[in-house]
A = this chain, B = another copy of it.
């Protein structure tokens, strides 16, 4: 049976489906009876949930967060729709249709990753090649790299989004590097491959997209720099020393790839390769964001709704 999506639930309906529960808390009513407050969500939205016939045992059994089967009904409370939960039971994550909870890239992850590896073969500089290889041979990291979204909102905000974004950036770089012969191609390619790697740690994408604590405190830019240095140290431990200027040139690309201070870059781009990575990153992110907004617009209007980060509505009419 098809999943009943959160944004399709009307007041007064019976609820009997699997949802993600999070931030569950055990509280007391004014009469002293225990109840559980929680958020109930899927990829279309989130509602308050209340279980009035609750016990500490039920509360302790709940995943924080995780998937549950909820039976109950929907009602309006203080002008907001909420779910009154009658019974709640943990569901094995493996039995869940994860695509009801997290969107996923429409492209083929295996093929994209294989093309990424193939494009990185173009790197000629030995040390850059070895750094890229050290990332590629970290299997746990590569699994996350292929699974993580590129962002929670804005652009490529779905499973595989980080890979899709990195893959497309590498394709663009490969296509335009011949037009800019003064630019060092290996630095650009290695820089693109690594530039957002810290998002695998900044974001959480098991059951829902969110920031990790560490991600919020440190951010993916600094996390990527730390990863780069860890990889250089593990190469050094194998006797393959990476020179300071190589690490610094790559590190500079990572630190400056948001291009301005106001977008969180602690350094402004100061090398041709850093500028090129900035522009390809911004181009690819914006094209994804703009095209998604246009394709996802529900109305028949020639214009999407207001896009706050772009400070405009977007024109949808096609001429060609």
Contact = CB atoms under 8 A, between A and B. Distances in A.
B291 A252 contact: no
Query: Which residue of A11, A23, A266, A310 has the most chain B CB atoms within 10 A of its CB atom?
Result: A266
Given A313-B270, A320-B186, A249 B217 contact: yes
A213 interface: yes
A186 B318 CA distance: 11
A48 to B, nearest CB: 12
Interface stretch (A91-99, A132-140, A141-149, A297-305): A297-305
A56 interface: no
A315 B253 CA distance: 12
A219 interface: yes
Number of copies of this kind of chain in the complex: 6
A320 B124 contact: yes
A318 B8 CA distance: 40
A216 B303 contact: yes
Interface size, A (range): 35 or more
A214 interface: yes
A279 B287 CA distance: 10
Contacts of A31: none
A171 interface: yes
Would you list the 7 A-B pairs with minimal beta carbon distance, nearest first?
A: A175-B175, A217-B252, A279-B283, A184-B320, A266-B266, A271-B315, A217-B248
Interface of A: 8, 10-11, 23, 25, 30, 76-81, 124-125, 128, 168, 171-172, 175-176, 179-180, 182-187, 213-214, 216-219, 221-222, 225-226, 229, 233, 244-246, 248-249, 251-252, 255, 261-272, 275-276, 279-280, 282-283, 286-287, 290-291, 294-295, 299-303, 310-315, 317-320
